[in-house]
Amino acid sequence: MVNITQYDLDEMIQKIQNKSPFEIQDSERSRPASLRVIISKLYYALDYEKEPQATRQKVTQLLLYHGQFSREEIDGIFQSSAKETTAYSLEFLKQHPEVAKAEALKSKEFPDELEGEDSERLKEIKYIFPHYR
């Protein structure tokens, strides 16, 4: 059986387009592990740094189109990899102009003024996955 980490990105995309199944064992442990590898490779191939939520949506739609994994399985992998941060993406700043303004003021006029206020600041959810070759 093929190890899921051996698939390169082009093969994965072709399997999704053709709706041909990934060769994985459907055991309780290997199925989620394989899905994590697939999501990681797809996620990092897209514009995840600038648009983490849009990238999540794209990856979810690709995998739902493919049909081998359920929304619940996909969402579970993303939720287990979610991290809160104040290192904002462009996507987040566009959606929250008040945060963008505060960040601009902090970085230009008052660099030390918001120090220690991280607990009060709005947090963005980003996804951290292992990198696979």
Residue 104 lies in a domain: no
Residue 43 lies in a domain: yes
Residue 92 lies in a domain: no
Residue 38 lies in a domain: yes
70 is in which domain, residue-wise? 4-86
Place of tokens 């387009």: 17
Q: Does residue 110 surpass a pLDDT of 90? A: no
pLDDT in tens, 71-99: 999 999 999 999 999 999 999 999 999 99
Residue 114 lies in a domain: no
Residue 25 lies in a domain: yes
Residue 97 lies in a domain: no
Could you give the number of structural domains in the chain?
Answer: 1
pLDDT in tens, 56-73: 999 999 999 999 999 999
Spatial distance between the Cα atoms of 131 and 75, rounded to a whole number of angstroms: 19
Give the single-character DSSP code of 5: G
Residues in Cβ contact with 28 at an 8 Å cutoff, skipping those fewer than 6 apart: none
pTM confidence score: 0.83
Residue 70 lies in a domain: yes
